[in-house]
Structure 1
Amino acid sequence: MEKRELRQTVIGELKAQDSDLKKKKDKQLLQELVATKAYQDSQVIATYLAFDFEYDTSLLIEQAKRDGKLIVVPKTYPKGRMIFGLYDEKELAPTRFGLREPVSDEAFDKNQIDLIHVPGVVFNGQGFRVGYGAGYYDRYLSDYRGTTISTIYDFQMADFKAGTHDIAVKEVLVK
């Protein structure tokens, strides 16, 4: 199955999953994530503001804030450009994709981000991912030297061949 078909199939599965089971898995994934050395050692964590059918990143954001960590979230621009800006619930605006992102155009220094929590639709056993098709994360991660981690559901794992531009996530937690 090619990436486009794989993406559509798994997005359908994400949207169809049982909400109570999803909440349970989200909490288990959070426990696993905060137990990792990558999380424990990080001061600045980049994460995304998720669609309601994705892993609930608000759990991670709230936990990280309780743990005294700084949170940054993505802001996207035309031609696949993306930055991370400081997370401030009061300073977010809706995007054309239906997500929220920082109002400010001030980019957080990539070299100061310890851990990036990377979204994705489908992952293979080597940590390569199929995202939503715009390439924002692959471009951003191409020269990122910190740690990357993703939290996904078991049905998001599949075999596919990574493209030459694809960047693997270093650790994938699966429930």
Structure 2
Amino acid sequence: MKESIRQAVLKQLDKQDRQKKSEKDRVMTEELLDKAVYQSAHTIATYLPMDHEFDSYFLIAQAQADGKRVLVPKVIGPGQMVFLPYDPEHLQESYFGVLEPSHGQVFSKEAIDLIHVPGLAFNAEGYRIGHGGGYYDRYLADYQGVTVSTIYDFQQATFKEEEHDIPVQEVICR
């Protein structure tokens, strides 16, 4: 079931109108920026998007302008990732075709106040379907900070979570 939902959402993501997507990204970013959890955070982690995903570069730019430390993920092994500082001068394309830091200081989970979590589909309880590698579920399993995701309305789905799935605490949807 998860694979069929994953494929259906990927098709929807690929056929989005670019202008409408950009506007939704801006609105969701502003909504996230207005939240107390963002405003009180000193260190936030987000992701560098694929073309069809929520454009996190708006969030990154504003977080930097607000004096926050911005971290992005780097895969370090099968099912394992860490977060390193975002530095546009030191990015490389990963095996998965997304940009990630080429080097930098790894930050502990305890140092991250807020993680902006990607995903393809989310159910009403905040459980997510990602690309299938389990990276975020493993990372979030013992994370104690705040998690939030930004999604388009068609990414809402009905599915039963699995034992290893970790929900995000809040989902912003447009």
TM-score category of the 2 structures, normalised to the smaller one: over 0.9
Give 1:58's aligned residue.
57
Query: Following the alignment from structure 2 to structure 1, what is the Cα–Cα distance between the partners of residues 78 and 19?
Result: 38
Q: Note the residue ranges of structure 2 that are not aligned, 5 or more in a row.
A: none
Give 2:133's aligned residue.
134
Once the two structures are TM-superposed, the CA of residue 105 in structure 1 deviates from its matched residue by 5.9
Query: Is 2:117 aligned against 1:118?
Result: yes
C-alpha RMSD of the superposition: 0.8
Query: Following the alignment from structure 1 to structure 2, what is the Cα–Cα distance between the partners of residues 79 and 30?
Result: 31
Contact 2:6 2:130 in 1 (8 A): yes
Instruction: Name the structure with the higher helix share.
Output: 1
Percent pairwise identity: 49
Query: Following the alignment from structure 1 to structure 2, what is the Cα–Cα distance between the partners of residues 45 and 73?
Result: 9
AA at the equivalent of 2:148: I
Output the TM-score relative to the length of structure 1: 0.98
Give 1:86's aligned residue.
85
Q: Secondary structure at the match of 1:163?
A: coil
AA at the equivalent of 2:18: S
Give 2:22's aligned residue.
23
User: C-alpha offsets along residues 19-44 of structure 1, whole Å, 9 cap, x if unaligned?
Assistant: 11001100100110001111011000
Query: Following the alignment from structure 1 to structure 2, what is the Cα–Cα distance between the partners of residues 49 and 90?
Result: 14
Give 1:170's aligned residue.
169
Query: Following the alignment from structure 1 to structure 2, what is the Cα–Cα distance between the partners of residues 126 and 78?
Result: 29
Query: Following the alignment from structure 1 to structure 2, what is the Cα–Cα distance between the partners of residues 7 and 166?
Result: 15
User: C-alpha offsets along residues 124-160 of structure 1, whole Å, 9 cap, x if unaligned?
Assistant: 0000000000000000000000000000000000110
Once the two structures are TM-superposed, the CA of residue 83 in structure 1 deviates from its matched residue by 0.3
Q: Note the residue ranges of structure 1 that are not aligned, 5 or more in a row.
A: none
Where has structure 1 moved over 3 Å in runs of 4 or more? none
Output the TM-score relative to the length of structure 2: 0.98
